[in-house]
Amino acid sequence: MSAVEEVVTEAAAVEAVPKRAMTLGTGTSLLVLAALIIMPIFVKNFIIFQMTMLLIYGLAVLALNILTGGSGQFSLGQSAFYAVGAYTTAVLMEHFDVNYALTLPIAGVVCFGFGFLFGQPALRLSGVYLALATFALATAMPQLLKLNFLEHWTGGVQGLVVTKPDAPFGLKMSQDMWLYYFSLVVVIGIYILAVNLLRSRSGRAFMAIRDNEIAASAMGVDVALYKTLAFGVSAAITGIAGSLGAIAVQFVAPDSYTITLAVSLFLGMVVGGVGWLPGSIVGAAFIIFVPNIAEGISKGLSGAVFGVLLFLVIYLVPHGARQVAILGQQLAGKLRKN
Amino acid sequence: MELFTNQVLAGIATGAIYACMALAVVMIYQAIDHLNFAQGEMAMFSTFISWQLMQWGIPYWGAFILTLALSFIAGIAIERILFKPLAKAPILTNVAGFIALFAIINSSAGLIWDFTIKQYPTPFGSAPFLGSQLISTHQAGMIGVTVLLLLGLYFFFQYTRVGLAMRAAASVPESARLVGINTSWMIALGWGMATAIGAIAGMLIAPVVFLEPNMMGGVLIYGFAAAVLGGLTSPFGAVVGGFLVGVFENLAGTYIPGVGNELKLPIALALIISVLVVKPAGLFGRQIVKRV
């Protein structure tokens, strides 16, 4: 069994959560949700923008979590799917005047197709080999977007400028705030879909493949179908995140979607806890805010400070935010007994 | 036809760089069972140390040997201090640790030696080799050193007790512990050796790509690709993979229309993946049989 597959199997070992303690989890989710809804009223536009990016990256980390945490396939190519989603939206909005909200499902469908097709050759690869294949996709994507014969559509190296939508129905709301609430609704919708997907028959098939591919196929799971399906779903969600990202940043250019983005998303998943969907938002917060904090501590050594902070996190909680949540639940359980 | 031979020769010359790096990658993969993303940066740092030693007036070979020794110790130290505590953590967490190490080394090297490009000396000279314009004596020397290194490793793993113990520790850790092998120290030893080999690779590559903190970015990717193509379980495969990737890359750049410098890497990677789809364990890798 290859290295990466093992990991994901191990992660499942921390799952057992006592049912009655779940109320704490529900309570925390409601609190977080309330904070996310109320917060923009009190803060400046720039912070609202950052929170929008937090939601968007959270969505992209969630997508990777479904792929790696759910079906056990490792991907360093998420930036490519993100780019395809972003460009689909940008091209549709700027060349065809399509409404921004309508571009999201289109981007999702396009990316689903792309991911599903990419999943076909990737079927024969696993572990580091799959990492290399997806890595190749990530390095190729910016170069492909710069190709000459696509330049009419993609704007080449220069990229495309995207217009930020106004709040509809004459709502008195800044563009940033409207986009924030719009993203929030999309993200929550997809989150609920993702949770249900992992609980469904397909989700169980993903996890069976993750835990033991041979056993899964012996149980009658169509391994090829579900592995490619996981790629497709993950790509679709990443693509929608990319679309939202393009609208929020108001700009798409090939060099925004390099391997660095894919690596950040991977770090976000590890920090949030592999296979634990609520952790995605924690991971996203880490990859958005920690580089800024590192820069604040030392300009010249920002990379080193970021590395040290990352080491601290993985020493303290090797299973990411999930471990913190489990500790919290156990603590609450003990308090209740006393 | 002449163009073809020339391109193949040039490919072999760049391939030597990749082969060196791939050897270091395989070395550490054998010891710890995953790819170390910080390997290139570790090699870069070693190269900077040798450069600093030479700036202080130590002759080339003196600096070379000293750097090897320092790298070996540093590799062991990194394993003991940073990665041993993570031994029980999930592997993806370890990978995040490699990325953190990458950031730390890259940024500190930038601070200590800044990001300007530096010349690095070669012990072999840079005259044309045997009258060929495509391969310089330095590149020939590099190929020579790679082959020597490979032979040395082969004998080490095949005919020494420590080599055998390392192989045992990597393939079946539980059984290795039962027969009295200290597997934890074997891993540290693997790190030390991989860092030293990386240092050799760095010092051989630096005269070609010049010395700067980001010099290894591209090389490491090709090194990974070469190691995966050759089969991660085989040092010999890694070297062959290195040369193949070098030749692939050059031929793709010459014969496929519209491929500039920028598309070389994606095309080389695409080719490697097509090979992997047919032979999933790499060209010379051992097929690992899975059980339920």
Interval A45-87: pLDDT, tens:
788 888 889 999 999 999 999 988 888 888 888 999 999 999 9
pLDDT at residue A240, rounded to an integer: 93
The CB density around residue A201, as the number of other CB atoms within 10 Å, is 10
Chain B positions in Cβ-Cβ contact with residue A74 (cut-off 8 Å): 92
Record the tokens describing residue B165, joined without a space: 């113990």
Low-confidence residues of chain B: pLDDT under 50? none
Residue with tokens 């070609």: B208
State whether A8 and B92 contact (CB < 8 Å).
yes
Q: What is the pTM of this model?
A: 0.84
pLDDT at residue A18, rounded to an integer: 46
A306 near B CB under 8 A: yes
Q: Give the chain B residue whose CA is nearest to the CA of A211.
A: B292
Q: Which of A128, A214, A307 sits opposite B103 (nearest CB)?
A: A307
DSSP code for A68: I
Nearest-CA distance A49 → chain B (Å): 27
Low-confidence residues of chain A: pLDDT under 50? 1-21
State whether A314 and B100 contact (CB < 8 Å).
yes
Chain B residues 189-208 with CB within 8 Å of chain A: none
A70 vs A18, A200, A226, A245, B88, CA distance in Å?
A: 21, 12, 11, 24, 21
pLDDT at residue A109, rounded to an integer: 93
State whether B276 and A125 contact (CB < 8 Å).
yes
pLDDT at residue A15, rounded to an integer: 45
Residue A160 is inside which H or E element, if any? strand A160-161
DSSP code for B118: B
The one-letter amino acid code at B149 reads: L
Chain B positions in Cβ-Cβ contact with residue A300 (cut-off 8 Å): 107, 110-111
Q: Which of A3, A139, A307 sits opposite B101 (nearest CB)?
A: A307
Interface with A, mutate which of B39, B84, B93, B263 (most A CBs under 10 A): B93
A138 near B CB under 8 A: no
A251 strand-pairing partners: A161
B95 near A CB under 8 A: yes
Q: Give the chain B residue whose CA is nearest to the CA of A217.
A: B292
B172: left (phi over 0), alpha (psi -120 to 50) or beta: beta
- Between the two ends of chain A, the Cα-to-Cα distance in Å is 45
Q: Give the chain A residue whose CA is nearest to the CA of B38.
A: A307
A184 with A37: CB under 8 angstroms? yes
Nearest-CA distance B121 → chain A (Å): 28
The CB density around residue B264, as the number of other CB atoms within 10 Å, is 17
pLDDT at residue A7, rounded to an integer: 43
pLDDT at residue B258, rounded to an integer: 64
A128 with B228: CB under 8 angstroms? yes
Residue A123 and residue B156: Cα distance in Å, rounded? 37
pLDDT at residue A147, rounded to an integer: 74
A217 near B CB under 8 A: no
Q: Give the chain A residue whose CA is nearest to the CA of B282.
A: A129
Residue B70 neighbours by CB under 8 Å, 6+ apart: B46, B49
A270 with A7: CB under 8 angstroms? no
Helical spans, DSSP H, in A212-222: 213-218
State whether A121 and B96 contact (CB < 8 Å).
no
Residue B157 and residue B186: Cα distance in Å, rounded? 13
